[in-house]
Each structure stands twice: as C-alpha cells, then as structure tokens.
Structure 1
C-alpha cells in the first residue's frame, strides 16, 4: 500500500470514519474511498459497508477488484444503570460492541452491579465528548426519568447515532416528544427515536426487554434503510 494512502486510511480510522480500500487484482492499483456515493462502485461498497465484510466486486470495465472494508468498532451507550442494562451490556459486549453505561445516580451506577463495564456516574450531556457519540454508536435511554433521559436523547440525536431508543410506553413517548420539541428539537429528528424501545416481541422481564433492544439495534446496523 502506498504511504500516502496508508496515512489517509489511518487518519480515517482515528476519526472513526468508514473507509474502503479498492484494489485492482490485475494491476495492484489501489484507491481509498471515504465517500461511496462519489465512487463508480457506490452500490457494491455500500453493501460491503452494511455487512461489515470485505468482498470481491467488478468495475464497469469488467476488472476484478477487492473491497477491503475498514469500519470503526460499534459502540453502545446506555443511559441508565438499571436491571435491563445488566443483561443488555454483556450481550452487546459479546456481539463486539464497546459498551458504556452512564447514570448520574451513584446508587445505581456501582461497579458491583456492573463489573467489567465502562461505567460513568455523570450526566451524558456533560460527558458526551469523552463518551464519543457518533454515527457508529447505538444509544439507549433506559432511566425513565426525563431529567436524565431528555438531555441525553438530545445529545444522541445531535451526534447522529445510528440507533436511538428510549424506554417507555407510547403515552410516555408522546409526552417526551412535547418536551423535546419545547427544548428545540426538530420534529424530523424526533422520528428517529425508537419508542417504545426494542422489537415488539412481547418482552416482559428486564432480560427479555434487553433481547428486544439488542435485536432492534442489530437490525438498525445491518438493515439501515428499514424502519422496523
């Protein structure tokens, strides 16, 4: 790989930006693609980025190329050190997510309840720069406390998280929408909030709710064009 291309690739990875290296298998020529929409192989690269897997493709000329996909590790930021989080965190970790739990309530956010987890006893809207919300982050608001969840939801929407979900009934979410609109959040952005959170599988226990949430997050990651 050329040194200039490697330097640009490393810069993209440091910035948690998706990148694809396209290699012509006949000539060995390479190009770095950061904006798939501007590349002749836009569709093939888009599919590879969604799957997260490198693969073969063909240029319009018929030449075989290899698409080497470089994606940031997905993150899951959970606001609320609650019972659902105790199941959700280890499941997400087993799926390759970097998990952070944020809750300013120190009685809940204790290492004893959440061993081996990046645990922050603080407010997310104040901690978000260090937490690192971005387009490769899934976000779940689980405290059911507007004082904690609402500012965190605003931060997650502003950061462009690929998944934003919030615990609560439809009635609860209707009230939440009114509060967020009053806080200046655009109605279009509010449509991105998955609420009630999780796939509708009839989940009742905290563990079942955690399964429904991680399933919905997986669908948002792997099937981004669909609203389930």
Structure 2
C-alpha cells in the first residue's frame, strides 16, 4: 500500500468515514474510494454491495481482477433508556460487533449494577448525545416511553442521518409522537424513517424477544439494500447462510 493511500485511509478512519480500497490485481494500481464517491466509480454496483455487506472480496470486471477491501467504521448502537430491553440488547450488540451506549437521565435506572461493562451516560439526551458524534453508522433506539426523554433524542438522531432509528410504542403512541415531532419542525420524509412499532414483527412479547426483533431489524437496515427482501430458505438461488 502506498504511503499516500495509507495516510488517507487513516484520516478516513479517524473521521468515521467509510472508504473502499480497490486494487487492480493485474497492474497493482490502487485507488481509495470514499463512500460518497462510489456512485461515480466504474465498479459502483460492486463497491456498494461489498460496503453494505461489510466484506472484502475479489471481483472481475471487464476482464480485469480487482481486490475490494472494505474499511467501514464500527457500528454503534445508542439506546435511549436504561430499561429491560436495553439489558437484553447489550449482549446482542456485542455478539454482532456493535459498540453499545446507553443514555438515561433517570439515575435510578442508569446504574452500573444494572449495566456493567457498557458505556452508560446518566444525563439528559441534549447533553449526552452531541459529544458522541452520532453519524450514519449509528443505530439509534428510543425505549423509555417518555416523550420528555425520547422526543428530543429522536430529533437529534434524524438530523444526523443514522442508518436506523427505532422507537418503542404502539401505533397509537407513535401517531402522537409523530405529531409532536412534526410540530417541532421535523419533516415528513424524516419522520417516515422511524421504525415504529420497533423491531421485526415476530410476535415478540418478553424484553429479550423484543431485543431480538430489534437487532434483527437493525441488521436488515444495515445489510440489505432498501426494498430488498430477506431470501427464503427454500430459494436455492439465494442461500440464507453466507
């Protein structure tokens, strides 16, 4: 790897920007493609697919072999609410390689005894969230059921293009939430990005089951292209396990 490429790569990592290193295996030429520039690259479709999947691979294009090396920031899971669902989400986040952060100003809930070995901020979201540098590689879930805590936090997440934003509550609860956020100046396009009721519909009842449904929906938002459906086990053309 050339020194200039390494320096640019380190800068991208420090800024939490996703980049893809494309190496021509026949000539040795290399180029670093910023996520925002992928659409203009000759390998645009292949680069977008590998970045979405978070995998490096060898591809062939127009008779030439290229190695695509994906460099994406670690995904962060920010949870608003030190609740039972959060307790179940933390180990799930660790299993899939996500950095978990919990924000809750209610000090009776946000305790190290209930949440050991996790970044825990017992502060109001308007204080705790700005220093975190929330970005498009952040999954954001609001779980307190308290508009005083959740609403401002959701507004912060929507303004920062998180790849996933979800909120706990029934459809009726979410309808009232949407109206409050609309009155706060959030547009309909942004509001439509909120996953609510949160999680995939798997009939979840317990906090642990709800956590599983939330993590499944987060993974779907991260790995599948918008509108793409999860392949069925019976579909031989699209194996479920890769």
Aligned residue runs from structure 1 range 173-184, under 5 A: 173-184=174-185
1:24 maps to 2:11: no
- Corresponding residue number in structure 2 for 1:162: 163
Classify the secondary structure of the residue corresponding to 2:129.
Answer: helix
Equivalent residue, structure 1, for 2:47 = 45
- Please state how far the C-alpha of 1:93 moved relative to its aligned partner: 1.2
Cα offset for 1:224? 3.6
Q: What are the superposed Cα offsets for residues 192-211 of structure 1, whole Å, 9 maximum, x if unpaired?
A: 00000000111111111111
Q: CA deviation at 1:88?
A: 0.7
Alpha-carbon offset, residue 73 of structure 1: 0.5
Structure 1 distance, partners of 2:127, 2:159, is: 14
- 1:7 lines up with 2:29 in the alignment: no
**Secondary structure at 1:220's aligned position in 2?**
helix
Structure 1 runs of 4+ aligned residues shifted over 3 Å read none
Partner-residue secondary structure (3-state), 2:218: helix
Count how many residue pairs are aligned between Structure 1 and Structure 2.
227
Scaled by the length of structure 2, the TM-score of the pair is: 0.91
Post-superposition CA distance 1:84-108 (Å, at most 9, x none): 1110111111110000000011100
- For the pair 1:119 / 2:126, whether they are aligned, the reply is no
CA distance in 1, matches of 2:121, 2:113: 13
Kindly tell me: are residues 195 and 227 of structure 1, through their superposed partners in 2, closer, same or farther at Cα, counting changes over 3 Å?
Answer: farther
Instruction: Report the 3-state secondary structure (helix = DSSP H, G, I; strand = E; otherwise coil) of the residue aligned with 2:58.
Output: strand
Deviation at 1:125, TM superposition (A): 2.5
Aligned-residue RMSD, C-alpha: 1.1
> C-alpha deviations, 1:83-134, integer Å up to 9, x for none?
1111011111111000000001110000000001100001222222222311
CA–CA distance in structure 1, aligned partners of residues 114 and 67 of structure 2: 45
1:59 is displaced (CA, Å) by 3.2
Partner residue of 1:69? 70
Q: Aligned partners of 1:185, 1:21: CA distance in 2, in Å?
A: 37
- Asked if structure 2 preserves the Cα contact closer than 8 Å seen for 1:141 and 1:152, the reply is yes
Q: Tell me the equivalent position of 2:136.
A: 135
Q: What are structure 1's unaligned runs of at least 5 residues?
A: none
Give the drift of 1:4. Answer: 1.2
TM-score (ref. length: structure 1): 0.97
* 1:7 match: secondary structure: helix
Deviation at 1:227, TM superposition (A): 7.7
Instruction: Give me the whole-angstrom Cα distance separating, in 2, the residues matched to 1:80 and 1:211.
Output: 17
